[in-house]
Amino acid sequence: MTASPVANLTIADAMAMRERLRKVSDTPDLDVALLLCECLAKPRSYLYSWPERELDLAQIQRYLSLLARRIDGEPIAHILARRDFWSLPLAVSPATLIPRPDTECLVERALEMLAEQDSPAILDLGTGTGAIALAIGSERADAQVVASDFFPEVVALAEQNRIALAVSNVRVICSNWFSSMKGLRFKLIVSNPPYIDPQDPHLDEGDVRFEPRSALVAGNKGMADLFSIIGEAPNFLLPGGELLLEHGFDQGALVRQALRDRGFVSVASRNDYGGNERISWGTWT
C-alpha cells in the first residue's frame, strides 16, 4: 500500500528516508537517490546542490510509491526498468536477469582475448538484456556479435536495447543454446548461464526473489548448463577459438576440470571484484 503524502517534503527529508531501507538494501543511500532522481528528472548532483528544494505533491506521491516498492524488496532495476552496465543504460524487465557488476569482469576478459584479433566473430549465449554482447560490440566496432536467448520476450528486450544504443554490429536471435547456430563458427563464445543450485536457500532472499528461475537455476547442483555448453562449444569454435564462462563462486574447479576433460587447453580462472572465482576459460585447438 502506498504511504500517505507528506506535506512540505524537501530533498533532504526524502533522502533521510534511507533509514527505512536498512533492512532490505545494502545501498540505502544510493537507492533513495536513484528514486528521487527518477521522480525529479534530475541528476544525482542536483540532490546535493539543492537539499532544501521542496517536492510538489505529484513528486511526493510518486516518490513514496516507489519507496514502498523498494521497502517490499522489489529490485531498484525493476522499479526503474533499467540498469547501467559497462556504462550502457539497459532496459530490464522481470523476464530477465538483472545485470550484475561482477559480470563486467567477463567483458574485461573477453576484450583482452580479442585484443590481437581482427574482425572477430563472437557468440553470447543466454544474452538476457544483451548486456555482455552490447558491451563487447560497443567496444569493438569491427567485431560481429551474435546474441542469443531461448525466450522470445527476452530476445525482444535485448533487441530493444540494441536499437536504443545503436550497436549495429550485434545481431540478436532466438536459440536454445546452440540450436540455431548450424554452420556458424566463432573466435570467442561467452556465456553467463544459469548456475545456481535449485536448492540454494539464497533464492528466497534479496533481488533474486523477483528474477526468473529460468535465468538463475540449473540442474546437477547448478552445473548442468555449464557442462552442456562446454560439451557443445567445440563444434562452433574456430581453431584456436576460446570459450569464456561465468559461474558460481565455488564452481571454478569443476568448470576447469570440465574444460580440460573436453579437450580445451590454457584453462584458467579469474576472480570477481569481491575476490571470488567467477569466470573461467579455455582454448580449443
Binding site as annotated, residues for S-adenosyl-L-methionine: 126-130, 149, 177, 192
Are 280 and 268 a contacting pair, CB within 8 Å? yes
Torsion of CA 178, 100, 73, 6, to 10 degrees: -130
**Residue in this structure with the C-alpha cell 580462472, named with its chain if needed:** 269
245: nearest Cα among 96, 155, 113? 113
Binding site as annotated, residues for substrate: 192-195
**Residue in this structure with the C-alpha cell 555449464, named with its chain if needed:** 226
Measured distance CA(106)–CA(256) in Å, rounded: 16
Element of type H or E holding 236: none
Measured distance CA(137)–CA(123) in Å, rounded: 11
With 0-12 / 13-18 / 19 or more C-beta atoms within 10 angstroms meaning exposed / middle / buried, residue 85 is buried
Mutual orientation of helices 28-40 and 57-71 as an angle, nearest 10°? 150
